[in-house]
């Protein structure tokens, strides 16, 4: 695997290192030892699969608070998505900054999402399918979210949002004054 750290410390793009021959190819997509060597958490509590009928579908921006904070390893296995993460670590120099990465069946990339990062994506193709390896169990009492269109975040989605859950559309906007005080996502 090829690990490339994003501008948000601790978040990595992971490319597969293909071993090709006349049959096709073989590639490792996860290795506890290699992840640990890069300082990444290696626990996997759940594996999830998401399917999206229509391009423009938006899921996110989700995160969980401690003690149920999640790491995620996200990969698009059919179609393509724009995957976006937002740094919510109050002590981080990149607090509230985001990174967007295209994940697709063609590029076979994965995105490692550290704890206290909001995560969401937009389907760029009809029939996009996404797999997640998640480092903590889903715990509704600790779940939080950010609005995909929050002006404080300034995320530019490539397509018009055509489908979004009521829950994701209803997350409150960040208070710009609280953001400066770094208190907006603590509770």
Strand residue runs (E) in the chain: 2-5, 12-15, 19-21, 24-26, 46-52, 58-64, 72-78, 80-87, 98-104, 110-113, 117-123, 128-134, 143-145
Q: Which of 62, 98, 119, 148 is flagged as catalytic?
A: 62
**Nearest residue to 168 via CA among 143, 185, 148, 152:** 148
62 in catalytic set: yes
Q: Which of 63, 98, 132, 148 is flagged as catalytic?
A: 132
The secondary structure element, H or E, covering residue 180 is: helix 176-181
138 in catalytic set: no
Active site residues: 62, 132
């Amino acid at each position: 695997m090829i690990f490339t750290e994003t501008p948000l410390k601790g978040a990595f793009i992971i490319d597969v290192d293909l071993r090709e021959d006349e049959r096709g190819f073989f590639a490792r997509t996860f290795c506890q030892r290699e992840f640990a060597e890069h300082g990444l958490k290696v626990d996997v509590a759940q594996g999830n699969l998401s399917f999206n009928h229509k391009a423009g579908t938006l899921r996110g921006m989700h995160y969980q608070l401690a003690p149920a904070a999640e790491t995620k390893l996200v990969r698009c296995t059919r179609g393509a998505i724009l995957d976006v993460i937002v740094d919510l670590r109050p002590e981080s120099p990149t607090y509230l900054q985001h990174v967007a990465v295209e994940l697709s069946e063609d590029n076979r990339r994965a995105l490692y999402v550290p704890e206290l990062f909001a995560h969401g994506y937009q389907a760029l193709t009809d029939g996009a399918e996404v797999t997640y390896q998640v480092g903590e169990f889903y715990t509704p009492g600790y779940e939080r979210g950010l609005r995909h269109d929050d002006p404080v975040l300034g995320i530019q989605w490539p397509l018009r949002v055509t489908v979004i859950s009521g829950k994701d559309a209803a997350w409150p906007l960040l208070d710009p004054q609280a953001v400066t005080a770094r208190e907006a996502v603590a509770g």
